[in-house]
Amino acid sequence: MTTEPTHLADLTATRLTAGYAAGAFSPVEAARAALERAEAAQATTNCFTRIDAEPALAAAGESAERWRRGTPAGPLDGVPVTVKDLILTRGTPTLRGSRTVRAEGPWEEDAPSVARLRESGAVFLGKTTTPEFGWKGVTDSPRHGVTGNPYDPRRTSGGSSGGSAAAVALGAGPLSLGTDGGGSVRIPASFCGIFALKATYGRVPLYPASPFGTLAHVGPMTRDAADAALMLDVIGGADWRDWSQLGPATGSFRAALTDPVAGLRVAYSPSLGWDVPVAPEVAAAVRSAVEVLAKLGAHVEEADPGIADPVSAFHVLWFSGAARVVEHLDEADRALLDPGLAEIVAQGAGYSALDYLAAVDTRMALGQAMGRFHDTYDLLVTPTEPITAFEAGVEVPAGSGHTRWTGWTPFTYPFNMTQQPAATVPCGVDGDGLPIGVQLVGARHADALVLRAAHALYEAGAAAIPAPPAP
């Protein structure tokens, strides 16, 4: 066994399991390397709410024995994984970034995605930070403080799955489970230089049901598209607790990665046709990624989907969900909330049923428009974010004129409303060395196509960016 533990922390899940199978190293060595990185990442970025070293090493030891016998429990046996602290994990508090959640429990259930990972033999390292109840696109909370960016801890990691993105970027496990209700795996993945997928709604079962309704998805956050496909094969397994889950996938997402992108009809939309000031370095990096798809044989043309910004309708749906999240709290507990969350809760509580239904009408029209668009184009490509990571600890960039997080992330929340698969791939860095992401959006149920196109960018070297400084 010649591989050093520090190098093990940099391997993808695919390479780890290949190494276990070959006897090159063990799950215990991989867990120790990931835990070492987790402690260092926590010290520099505050990306964990808890690190569970002893249970992780015990699970890794059990995995090592299974690999020794040649009977791994599943395709992710022995792979270190982290879980966003909005997702239930049996025996571990899920505090949701809120001082209003009591840690005592009992914590007796795994969420469906966690249960599937556990069945596959994954090794859980700990829980990652989130803003309170995942309400905004940056990661800071009254309970756990501010999570910094692995490339510059003074900058935001994005959110709401910011802890997961920072952990993956810094080698604290190659896989993390995040949630995405308006961009919450894609925003931090873009800011932190990793891959993330918001799969078609229902592809990954969700329990308990989100108070934000069918805007909310669970998705993989990984080092590359191949790992995300492998992870989706596992976490997409059926679970009766989610009545809105989709039926079984028609095949393996991992196996479909090698299908060609040549011939795909790709629409490149620099700003969705809206008046969005995209930073020049972002625009140039995204265009370069699109040119790679063209060189690979995709038929690319510049085209906008012809939709209006649905932000007002999204606010009605999102803010109403926030009001529902805290409906059970008494006055004393409400005084403990993030002030920004308290503001949108008050706004959401003021909407009428007719306001909500009008927002649903807007959502349905948006979904129909995108369905029509995908009759012509297989894939829509946009920037993931028009900007790179800004100052940590604030909801909006200084001097931006925005009042809410949705103002600076116009390319993500529309596709929660339409329930389409959308992924972000790193495609460059700006002058400060901060990552830039390109977003790939497919028609509903076209998850395999989105993963295939993303994988092609990785294979072509378009997603290669400098690693963050060692923590």
Reported as a single tens digit per residue, the pLDDT across 109-146 is: 999 999 999 999 999 999 999 999 999 999 999 999 99
- Mean pLDDT for 260-285 is 97
pLDDT in tens, 64-103: 999 999 999 999 999 999 999 999 999 999 999 999 999 9
| Distance between CA atoms of residues 83 and 71, nearest Å | 25
Task: Say how many C-beta atoms besides its own lie within 10 A of residue 217's C-beta.
Answer: 26
Task: Find out whether the peptide bond into 55 is cis, omega within 30 degrees of 0.
Answer: no
Please give the angle made by the CA atoms of 142, 148 and 154, to the nearest 5 degrees.
110
pLDDT at 7: 84
164 neighbors 71 (Cβ within 8 angstroms)? no
Tell me the C-alpha distance between 409 and 418, whole Å: 16
How would you classify the pairing of strands 80-84 and 123-128?
A: parallel
Decide if pLDDT at 214 tops 70.
yes
Contact indicator for 76, 230 with CB cutoff of 8 Å: yes
pLDDT tens digits, one per residue of 136-167: 999 999 999 999 999 999 999 999 999 999 99
Determine whether 176 is an active site residue: no
Residue spans of the domains in the chain: they are 5-459
The residue annotated as part of the active site, out of 26, 63, 84, 190, is: 84
Q: What is the mean pLDDT of the chain?
A: 97
What confidence score (pLDDT) does residue 286 get?
A: 98
Examine the residue annotation and report whether 269 is marked as an active-site residue of this protein. Answer: no
The verdict on whether 84 is a catalytic residue reads yes
**% of the chain at pLDDT higher than 70:** 99
Flag whether pLDDT at 2 surpasses 50: no
Query: What is the reported pLDDT for 465?
Result: 98
Q: Tokens 């800004």 appear where? A: 390
> 6 pLDDT exceeds 60?
no
Please enumerate in sequence order all residues whose Cβ is within 8 A of that of 333, keeping only pairs 6 or more positions apart, or say none.
Answer: 100, 326
Question: Which two tokens mark 325?
Answer: 């999240």
Distance CA 233, CA 216 (A): 19
Beta pairing, strands 148-149 & 152-156: antiparallel
Mean pLDDT for 345-361 is 98
Among 343, 116, 331, which Cα is nearest to 232's?
Answer: 116
pLDDT value at residue 471: 81
Q: Which CATH number is 5-459 given?
A: 3.90.1300.10
Q: Cα separation of 245 and 124, whole Å?
A: 24
pLDDT in the model for residue 28: 98
- What pTM does this model have? 0.97
User: What local confidence, expressed as pLDDT, does residue 5 receive?
Assistant: 36
Torsion of CA 126, 216, 132, 402, to 10 degrees: 130
| pLDDT surpasses 90 at 105 | no
For residue 3, pLDDT over 60 is answered with no
Provide the pLDDT for residue 1. 30
Say which of 157, 161, 184, 190 is annotated catalytic: 184
- Per-residue pLDDT, averaged over 42-53, amounts to 98
| Angle in degrees, 0-180, between the axes of helices 27-45 and 13-22, rounded to the nearest 10 | 150
- Within 10 angstroms of residue 79's Cβ, the number of other Cβ atoms is 32
Q: What is the pLDDT of residue 305?
A: 98
3-7, 165-169, 185-189: least confident range: 3-7
The b/e string for 387-420 (b: 16+ C-beta within 10 A; e otherwise) is bbbbebeebbeeeeeeebbbebbbbbbbbbbbbb
**pLDDT single digits (tens) 430-443:** 999 999 999 999 99
The closest of 381, 468, 416 to 137, measured between CA atoms, is 416
Given the structure tokens 């997080």, which residue do they identify? 405
Which one from 113, 160, 161, 210 is the annotated catalytic residue?
Answer: 160
